[in-house]
Amino acid sequence: MEDKRIELKKELVAKAKELAEKVETSDVSREFAELKRKWRRTLSEEESLAEKELSDKFDGFVAAINEKVGTIVESAEERKEKIIAEAKKVLENNNFKQNNAKMEELMEAWKQSGRAAKEKDDELWEQFKEVRHEFFAKRKEFYAQLKENLLKSKEEKERIIEEAIKTNEGTNFKEISKKMDELMEAWKKAGHAGKEFEDDLWNKFKAERNKFYKNRKAYYESMKQTFAERVEAKKALISEAKIYLARSEFSPEEIEEVKGLRAKWKEIGSAGKENEDTLWEEFNTVINKYYENMRFYKK
């Protein structure tokens, strides 16, 4: 019986030596506890010299393991305190995409940090868990607000598009141009509507802006042609007025025809800012001269 006990003790001493040499983390605590439990079963009231020598060796290895585990426990506590400090820093900014990954890294670091003394370990876990809960609550609130902001931006941009559509129905391009500039500024201030909608909304708004530019270009090209035609028409009236002035018969028929020239002038419409005033001054001078001559003639 003694021989079997000695052999078992030798095995346990060898195991204790193995543990003492490989201890690197506190995860050996369960294996260490099981080893000590088995050793206690081998104890007897009377031990032989060989058993006492084995007990001394076992106690030596146990002391070495305890010393190492104590150091590990202290290091685990320090590591976990550092992890908690880093987690608190994560709460200081709102980059949740980056911070989420960081918080996951800290969780993994926590798992690998080892165990402190049970009471202290529980206390540290509660601190870390509280920081994590605060982070996730803050993240939830942030994304809820972000979702609300995205919805508001989407609705505002839809309103801007509708207004742009209505604006394009007008024909006063000076007013339309001013309005389109205002809508562009409103678009910039509206904020982002989210990846799902932003590009589609922008393409719709841009299409209305392009429609405006196309219509305005066509309008001004048309007006340029119209003004050119009106310039020629008004020059023709000036030439006609000059003929009446040169002839100056002052017959009832001629006077009516001269009066009709002014009516025709109005019917033609504006010939554009660049030409209208000059043409009118020349035309009006000829007509006034005709009436001045007529008054002199009747005297």
pLDDT tens by residue, 64-79: 777 666 555 556 788 8
Give dist(CA 264, CA 287) in Å, integer. Answer: 13
pLDDT at res. 74? 52
pLDDT at res. 33? 67
pLDDT tens by residue, 152-183: 999 999 999 999 999 999 989 889 999 999 99
Higher pLDDT, 16 or 151: 151
- Binned at pLDDT 50, 70 and 90, residue 6 comes out as confident
The two tokens of residue 149 are: 């902001």
Check pLDDT > 90 for residue 280.
Answer: yes
What percent of the chain has pLDDT above 70? 91
Check pLDDT > 80 for residue 28.
Answer: no
**Which of 15-29, 30-44, 112-126 ranks highest by mean pLDDT?**
112-126
pTM of the model as a whole: 0.55
Question: DSSP secondary-structure letter at 28?
Answer: G
pLDDT at res. 39? 73
Domain ranges of the chain: 2-75, 79-145, 157-216, 220-298
Give dist(CA 66, CA 35) in Å, integer. Answer: 13
Whether 180 and 224 have beta carbons less than 8 Å apart is answered as no
3-state secondary structure the chain: CHHHHHHHHHHHHHHHHHHHHHCCCHHHHHHHHHHHHHHHHHCCCCCCHHHHHHHHHHHHHHHHHHHHHHHHHHHHHHHHHHHHHHHHHHCCCCCHHHHHHHHHHHHHHHHHCCCCCHHHHHHHHHHHHHHHHHHHHHHHHHHHHHHHHHHHHHHHHHHHHHHHHHHCCCCCHHHHHHHHHHHHHHHHHCCCCCCCCHHHHHHHHHHHHHHHHHHHHHHHHHHHHHHHHHHHHHHHHHHHHHHHHHHCCCCHHHHHHHHHHHHHHHHHCCCCHHHHHHHHHHHHHHHHHHHHHHHHHHC
- Binned at pLDDT 50, 70 and 90, residue 54 comes out as confident
pLDDT tens by residue, 227-252: 999 999 999 999 999 999 899 888 89
pLDDT tens by residue, 256-279: 999 999 999 999 999 988 899 999
pLDDT at res. 83? 92
